Structure 1
Amino acid sequence: MSNPVLQVITASTRDGRKGDAVARWMRQVAEAHGGFDVELVDLAEVGLPLLDEPNHPRLGQYKHQHTRDWSAIVQRADAYVFVTPEYNHSFPASLKNALDHLFVEWKNKPAGLVSYGGVSAGLRAATALKPVLSSLKIVPVLEAVSVPMFAQFLTEDGEFVPSAQVEASAKTMLDELLKLAGALRTLRAE
């Protein structure tokens, strides 16, 4: 059996964002972990408009090509890591919109959270995101990565190089994601 597919999803889409550096780092950690085939998914590149489908996503009756393309991307994953900043005590609208576009494609898959920010480390974004994930039948793992004052870990050329503690928490989260990806795969087969 092949490795499960893990998608590292970059939530921030704004110009000047730094989350893409955090997501690239997370992809490298996941690739080094060795338990997953890893894909980097950047919501800025996906470019979804505000939800514009006439039918409820639960039905999977997508009228627009951008939704069908997004569905195909999300469908091929067995697990996710959402890399999110904190905007106004929550996660970005781009991530909520991307989640809301689909339903069945997310179901019975685990997700890890990598939040980053200032003093709060993006924890309020992660807290706000969990009930949304649960409503989509995504299973958030307890182990998460929170990066306080994340700008201190950016090099002059924009690479994210975190502390050993942040690195260790990412590896722990990936271990848990791998366990759940296998367990939840059987539910998706029913």
Structure 2
Amino acid sequence: MSDAENPPQRPRRTLWTFAVWAVVYALDQVTKVLAVAHLTPYEPEPFIGDLLQFHLIRNPGAAFSFATGFTWIFTILAAVVVVVVVRMSRKLFSLPWALALGFLLAGATGNLTDRLLRQPGFARGHVVDFLQLPNWPIFNVADASICVAAVLIAVLAVRGVGLDGTRETRTVKGEQEAGGA
């Protein structure tokens, strides 16, 4: 077989997805434990002046406390995201995609852990939020991780980068017609 018929295999990037997941998930869980242990609910404490405050709340809803009566739906959605990301990670050859999916997986599992294990009960637990920026809802490390993932995924999609690391080539209509002549 020639090299053209058997191209060299690029390494899978799955390990990167799980490395990012492990670090960010651990950071999320440790900071939530510390927040619950050391902060008084609903009493903001300045950390970096007015720029960043610690403000402990328990959020039964989605981002920005949206749809607080549907906690069980967010539990199911987070579980689906985890399954989809784990399945997709087996096909990864792109490091940027591996990092993006690692952040998404960490955010989803971080908040899913709260929904499964915290009060008021299994699959209805409230997410611990404790970070507050000016004019922004209170959030946690998992929420920030999901936002990082969303930005990375958007950039990769706009740039046409596939999970396999290949880039979609786009041609302008005039160039395509000129090239075909």
* TM-score interval (norm. to shorter): under 0.3
Using the size of structure 2 for normalisation, the TM-score is 0.23
Q: What TM-score, normalized to structure 1?
A: 0.22
Larger radius of gyration: 2
Greater RCO between the two (CA within 8 Å, min separation 6)?
A: 2
